[in-house]
Amino acid sequence: MSEIRFDDRVAIVTGAGGGLGKQHALELARRGAKLVINDLGGSMDGTGGNSAAAEEVVAEIKAMGGEAIANGSSVSDDAGVQKMIDDTMNAFGRIDIIIANAGILRDKSFSKMTMDDINLVLDVHLRGTFKPVHAAWNIMKEQNYGRIVVTTSSTGLYGNFGQANYGAGKLGVVGMMNTLKIEGAKNNIKVNAVCPIAATRMTEGLMPQAMLDNLKPEYVTPGVMNLVKDDAPTGMILSAGAGAFSMAQIVETNGAFVGQGDALTAEAVAAKWDEITDTSTQTHFDSGSGHGQNIFARLQEAAAKA
């Protein structure tokens, strides 16, 4: 199998001062990419900030003979995001890859969660993914090339106690991906999601040390390289951790036609509940139209039997 290379590609990695983002950036650099290391340098809850972490990663890349610049913009700030894009274009003249990795936590049970906790986490995870991608989108369209990875989470896909804000943001970026994979197709822009499990400062207090030892951030990165390579898939959720990888999908059962008019009652739905929820046949749809087609297929089947 041929080596995956990124020679002459320019990549922005947000939240790349440490953890997963740093590993993604270093591996891209090893494989020939030019890097923009974005990191606000704030604490885990989003407060404070300096560019020291980003500068250290830039120094590592330069020490290995690569090219990189640091950017300390907040991904949730419009002017800061535009500066990140401008810095990239001024330094390298193009943007081929964006890995939206920046994140914070404000974990609390829902009853104790404040609106500040909700807004800040959504600003960083959801809007902080939208804004850099939106700012670079037309550049990628004009190039007829783009590779984008958004970072989702098992909390967004499946739920986790005390993380309603985080989960909402993390599933939100999947919704973003599902539309951008369609809109970007004609311009060779591919958009995927990674669902990582790794020992970072965001997880170090949540798991025992023996488990953390198996969850090095660099064990996720090889999967991410496959999401941004030239022949990458698009619209995929890749789960990754401890050197193991799997594909996550949203699926829907075939369901059942219950009735219309007077025949359609809550009791009639209850009577067909087992058929509606039968998981023996499930489908993953490539777009929202597939969801509608599934519903109308049940209607047509019922009409054929009438």
Domain borders along the chain are: 10-248, 252-305
pLDDT band at 306 (very low <50, low <70, confident <90, very high): confident
- Give the strand order in the sheet containing 189-196: 68-71, 34-38, 10-14, 97-100, 146-151, 189-196, 237-241, 244-248
Question: What is d(CA 198, CA 112) in angstroms, rounded to the nearest whole number?
Answer: 27
Structure tokens at 281: 């046949």
Q: What is the pLDDT of residue 200?
A: 60
Catalytic residues: 166
**For the chain, how long is the longest CA-to-CA vector?**
74
Q: Is residue 119 helix, strand or coil?
A: helix
Which neighbouring-strand residues pair with 37? 13, 70
pLDDT above 70 (res 100):
yes
pLDDT band at 236 (very low <50, low <70, confident <90, very high): very high
Average pLDDT over residues 123-147: 98
CATH of 10-248, one of 3.40.50.300, 3.40.50.2000, 3.30.70.100, 3.40.50.720: 3.40.50.720
Residue given tokens 């019922």 in the structure block: 302
Question: What is d(CA 232, CA 118) in angstroms, rounded to the nearest whole number?
Answer: 33
Structure tokens at 71: 């950017």
Task: Return the exposure string of 196-220: e unless at least 16 CB atoms fall within 10 Å of the residue's CB, then b.
Answer: bbbbbebbeeeeeeeebeebbbebb
Closest C-alpha to 255, from 234, 239, 272, 230 = 272
Closest C-alpha to 98, from 140, 68, 58, 60 = 140
Q: Is residue 199 helix, strand or coil?
A: coil
Question: What is d(CA 14, CA 196) in angstroms, rounded to the nearest whole number?
Answer: 15
Query: Is the Cα torsion angle 110, 114, 115, 116 positive or negative in sign?
Result: negative
pLDDT tens per residue, range 40-70: 875 554 454 457 999 999 999 999 999 999 9
Residue 124 per-residue DSSP state: I
Is residue 189 within 8 Å of residue 145, measured between CB atoms?
A: yes
E strands, the chain, are: 10-14, 34-38, 68-71, 97-100, 146-151, 189-196, 237-241, 244-248, 252-253, 282-283
pLDDT band at 207 (very low <50, low <70, confident <90, very high): low
Backbone angles phi, psi at 218, to 5 degrees: -70, -10
Instruction: Residue 102: count other Cβ atoms within 10 Å of its Cβ.
Output: 26
Length of the chain: 306
- Mean pLDDT for all residues in the chain: 94
Q: Is residue 250 helix, strand or coil?
A: coil
Which helix (H) or strand (E) is 30 found in, with range? helix 19-30
pTM recorded for the entire structure: 0.93
Residue 187 per-residue DSSP state: G
Q: What is the pLDDT of residue 42?
A: 53
Q: What is the pLDDT of residue 98?
A: 99
pLDDT tens per residue, range 269-284: 999 999 999 999 999 9
pLDDT above 80 (res 256):
yes
Q: What is the pLDDT of residue 198?
A: 83
